[in-house]
């Protein structure tokens, strides 16, 4: 993880559960929890289902995570750390000479398909009607929101400080996140391609690198 990625303090680990082998097992459990939250949903990804996916007995699972609450709290931290690391890596991955706005939009669009991002989106969806889960993910939500307000997302978008650049980052982020959760029932690839192009142009405009007419050029090819 780079120095730009926000850190998430580890939860206290009970004695005997901080050996290298134990920590590897916990990481494996949390990796499977992340994947299952993303693939089959929070409710279906029970502790028993996660234990089975991780190749553990019920007793071994209970040793590491005695309750659903213990697992969820650890999974939220695990997912948050993975999202932060992926975001920081994306900020460092721009090839020389590339348009940084276009790279940022494409990079974040790809990240939204990664298991940690899909898993957290699932947790947020469930939390809308689950106050206990909402409280458990609130800190991770705030940390990630602040990461978008500063580094590394500002660097990823090549945007400076101030309200206009904050609006630039927010517009890119929330349009992409909304699009990732939308259901396009026809011609999805072409519609997404057009929307991503418009988002890129809008961010260029907010960064004062484009004109209003560039948002939808008159010579844009019809779809």
Residue-averaged pLDDT of the chain:
85
Question: Distance (Å, rounded) from C-alpha 18 to C-alpha 9?
Answer: 15
The confidence score (pLDDT) of residue 160 equals: 60
Of the ranges 20-24, 143-147, 162-166, 167-171, the best mean pLDDT one: 20-24
The confidence score (pLDDT) of residue 23 equals: 93
> Residues 84-120: pLDDT tens digits?
899 888 888 878 888 888 888 999 999 999 999 999 9
Residue 63 clears pLDDT 90, i.e. is over it: yes
At 20, list the tokens. Answer: 């290298």
The confidence score (pLDDT) of residue 156 equals: 60
At 120, list the tokens. Answer: 């957290």
The confidence score (pLDDT) of residue 210 equals: 56
Q: 25: which residues sit within 8 A by CB, 6+ positions away?
A: 54, 56, 60, 64
Domain ranges of the chain: 72-215
Q: Is 177 exposed, middle or buried (0-12, 13-18, 19+ CB in 10 A)?
A: middle
Which contacts qualify for 66-69: CB closer than 8 Å, 24 or more apart? Answer: 69/136
Question: 3-class secondary structure for 151-209?
Answer: CCHHHHHCCCCCHHHHHHHHHHHHHHHHHHCCCCCCCHHHHHHHHHHHHHHHHHHHCCC
Percent of the chain at pLDDT exceeding 90: 56
The number of helix segments (H) and strand segments (E) in the chain equals: 10, 0
Total-model pTM:
0.82
């Amino acid at each position: 993880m780079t120095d730009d990625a926000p850190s998430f303090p580890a939860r206290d680990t009970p004695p005997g559960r901080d050996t290298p082998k134990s920590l590897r097992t916990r990481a494996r459990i949390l990796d499977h929890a992340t994947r299952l939250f993303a693939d089959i949903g929070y409710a279906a990804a029970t502790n028993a289902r996660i234990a089975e996916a991780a190749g553990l007995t019920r007793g071994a699972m209970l040793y590491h995570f005695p309750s659903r609450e213990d697992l969820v709290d650890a999974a939220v931290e695990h997912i948050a750390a993975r999202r932060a690391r992926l975001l920081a890596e994306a900020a460092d991955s721009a090839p020389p000479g590339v348009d940084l706005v276009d790279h940022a939009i494409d990079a974040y669009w790809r990240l939204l398909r990664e298991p940690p991002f899909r898993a957290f989106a699932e947790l947020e969806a469930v939390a809308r009607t689950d106050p206990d889960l909402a409280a458990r993910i609130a800190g991770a939500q705030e940390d990630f929101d602040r990461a978008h307000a500063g580094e590394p997302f500002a660097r990823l978008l090549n945007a400076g400080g101030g309200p206009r650049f904050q609006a630039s980052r927010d517009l890119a982020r929330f349009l992409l996140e909304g699009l990732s959760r939308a259901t396009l029932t026809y011609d999805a690839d072409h519609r997404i391609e057009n929307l991503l192009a418009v988002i890129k142009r809008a961010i260029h405009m907010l960064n004062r690198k484009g004109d209003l007419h560039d948002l939808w050029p008159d010579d844009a090819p019809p779809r």
